[in-house]
Amino acid sequence: MKRNINIFLVSILIAFASCSFTSKSFDDPDKDKLLMQLITYLLEEGHFEPKDINDTFSEGVYTSFLNQVDPFKNYFYQSDIDEFEQFKTEIDDQILDHDVHFFNVVYERLLIRIENSREIYKQVLGTPFDYDLEETFNTEYESKPYATSKSEMKDNWRKQLKFSTLSNYHDLVNSNKESKKSNSVLEVEARASTLKSLNESASYMDDLRRDDWLSMYINAIAEEFDPHTFYFAPQDKDRFDAQMSGKYEGIGARLQKKMDVITITEVISGGSAWRQNKLEVGDAILEVRQEEEIEAVNVVGMRLDDAVKLIKGPKGTNVILTLKKVDGTIEDLSIPRDEIELEETYAKSTIVEKEGTTFGVINLPKFYIDFEDYNSRNAATDVKKEIERLKAEGMQGLVLDLRNNGGGSLKTVVDMGGLFIKEGPIVQVRSTGEEKEVLKDTDRSIEWEGPLVILVNELSASASEILAAAMQDYKRAIVIGSKQTYGKGTVQNIIDLNRMIRSNTNGDMGAFKFTTQKYYRINGGSTQLEGVKSDVVVPDRYSYIEIGEKDQDNPLEWDEIAPANYNLWERTFDYETTIKKSKDRMNSSAEIKLIDDNARWIKTIRDKSVYTLNFSKYSQDLELSESEAKRFDALSDYQTNLTFESLPYERPLMEQDSVLKINRTRWHENLSKDIYMEEAINVLSDLEGSYNSSKLAQIED
pLDDT of 251 > 80? The answer is yes
Provide the pLDDT for residue 365: 95
580 and 471 share a domain? yes
| Average confidence (pLDDT) over 179-204 | 90
In a domain, 188, yes or no: yes
In a domain, 398, yes or no: yes
Contacts of 640 (CB under 8 A, 6+ apart): 672, 673, 674, 675, 677, 678
Instruction: Share the mean pLDDT of the chain.
Output: 90
540 and 656 share a domain? yes
72 and 161 share a domain? yes
pLDDT of 694 > 80? The answer is no
67 and 134 share a domain? yes
Q: Which residue, 282, 313, 341, sits at the end of a domain?
A: 341
Provide the pLDDT for residue 269: 81
Percentage of the chain exceeding pLDDT 70: 94
In a domain, 3, yes or no: no
Provide the pLDDT for residue 26: 58
Q: Residue 24: which pLDDT band, with cuts at 50, 70 and 90? A: low
| Average confidence (pLDDT) over 160-188 | 88
In a domain, 60, yes or no: yes
Q: Which residue, 224, 258, 276, sits at the end of a domain?
A: 224
pLDDT of 6 > 80? The answer is no
**How many whole angstroms separate alpha carbon 115 and alpha carbon 241?**
35
| Average confidence (pLDDT) over 129-151 | 94
**How many whole angstroms separate alpha carbon 352 and alpha carbon 395?**
9
Provide the pLDDT for residue 690: 67
Contact 221, 39 (CB under 8 A): yes
451 and 591 share a domain? yes
171 and 261 share a domain? no
pLDDT of 140 > 80? The answer is yes
| Average confidence (pLDDT) over 270-294 | 90
| Average confidence (pLDDT) over 677-686 | 96
CATH of the domain at 275: 2.30.42.10
Provide the pLDDT for residue 699: 37
Contacts of 233 (CB under 8 A, 6+ apart): 211, 212, 215, 510
Provide the pLDDT for residue 373: 75
Provide the pLDDT for residue 239: 81
146 and 261 share a domain? no
Global pTM?
Answer: 0.88
Cα-to-chain-centroid distance, residue 249: 22
pLDDT of 109 > 70? The answer is yes
Q: Which residue, 323, 341, 359, sits at the end of a domain?
A: 341
| Average confidence (pLDDT) over 294-321 | 90
| Average confidence (pLDDT) over 542-567 | 94
- The parent domain of residue 621 ranges over 347-492+515-691
In a domain, 5, yes or no: no
Q: Residue 29: which pLDDT band, with cuts at 50, 70 and 90? A: low
615-629 vs 590-607: helix crossing angle, rounded to 10: 160
In a domain, 175, yes or no: yes
Q: Greater confidence, 523 or 501? A: 523
| Average confidence (pLDDT) over 555-583 | 92
Domain total in the chain: 3
Q: Greater confidence, 245 or 14? A: 245
Q: Residue 656: which pLDDT band, with cuts at 50, 70 and 90? A: confident
443 and 547 share a domain? yes
C-alpha distance from residue 56 to each of 62, 100, 220, 230, 496 (Å): 10, 18, 14, 20, 30
638 and 546 share a domain? yes
| Average confidence (pLDDT) over 346-365 | 96
452 and 597 share a domain? yes
Type of residue at 612: T
pLDDT of 361 > 80? The answer is yes
In a domain, 570, yes or no: yes
Contacts of 173 (CB under 8 A, 6+ apart): 183, 186
57 and 102 share a domain? yes
331 and 418 share a domain? no
**How many whole angstroms separate alpha carbon 11 and alpha carbon 14?**
5
In a domain, 701, yes or no: no
Q: What string of DSSP letters covers 120-145? A: HHHHHTTS---TTS--EEE---TTPP
Sheet holding 398-401, edge to edge: 536-537, 478-481, 452-456, 398-401, 357-363, 348-354, 644-645
